[in-house]
Amino acid sequence: MFSARLYAFIIALCRIGTGCAFGILIATVMVQVFSRTFLASSPVWTEELTRHALLFMAAFGVGLSFRNGELVNVDIVCEMLPPPVQRTLMFVSAGLTAAFCLLLLSPAWRFVSIGVLQTSPALGVRMDFIHATVFILLAVLCLFAVLRMIRIITGVSDGRPEDTTKDLP
């Protein structure tokens, strides 16, 4: 079925993407703060790079948030139900999330293709690279929703968000 190593690799890839984007965000903000405090003028590209880093951080981080239940979630009713019903509801919820993402992937790809004709004003980066964050976000969220469904079907998970504190040293 689905390999635990592949699942761990996908999680690691998303963590690396999120971490790199966060690192770029921190460095860029530090440059902006330093230049505004100690220099006569600050570079114009820092605000733009910060926005781009935030987009990539969200794109790679959304699947991880879905995995451990940190996305907006109303589960008060689900928590009161018996475990088999909870499992079914989690499966249906993941299925609807995956279906919604799949529905939006085609329009997101068209949005990405529009960016080929544009460049960002300060950095001069082709905007299709930036618009790709929307496509990445939907693809990653869909992937993690499908993975949750697979894990429910195979009995690896009860469908509830995963406890990621065990991943910490």
pLDDT for res 167: 64
Q: Is 14:64 a contact under the CB 8 Å cutoff?
A: yes
- Burial of residue 89 (number of CB atoms within 10 Å: 0-12, 13-18, 19+): middle
**Grouped pLDDT means (10 residues each) for the chain, 169 residues:** 82 97 97 94 93 97 91 78 90 95 97 94 94 97 94 85 68
Cα distance from N-terminal residue to C-terminal residue, the chain:
29
- Distance CA(97)–CA(141), nearest Å, equals 8
pLDDT for res 96: 95
Phi, psi dihedral angles at 137 (to 5 degrees): -55, -50
Taking residue 144's Cβ as centre, other Cβ atoms within 10 Å add up to 24
* Rg of the chain on CA atoms, in Å: 19
Q: What is the pTM of this model?
A: 0.89
Q: Is 115:126 a contact under the CB 8 Å cutoff?
A: yes
Taking residue 78's Cβ as centre, other Cβ atoms within 10 Å add up to 17
Residue 60: which of 127, 140, 5, 161 has the closest Cα?
140
Q: Where are the beta strands (DSSP E) in 33-159?
A: none
- Distance CA(125)–CA(77), nearest Å, equals 46
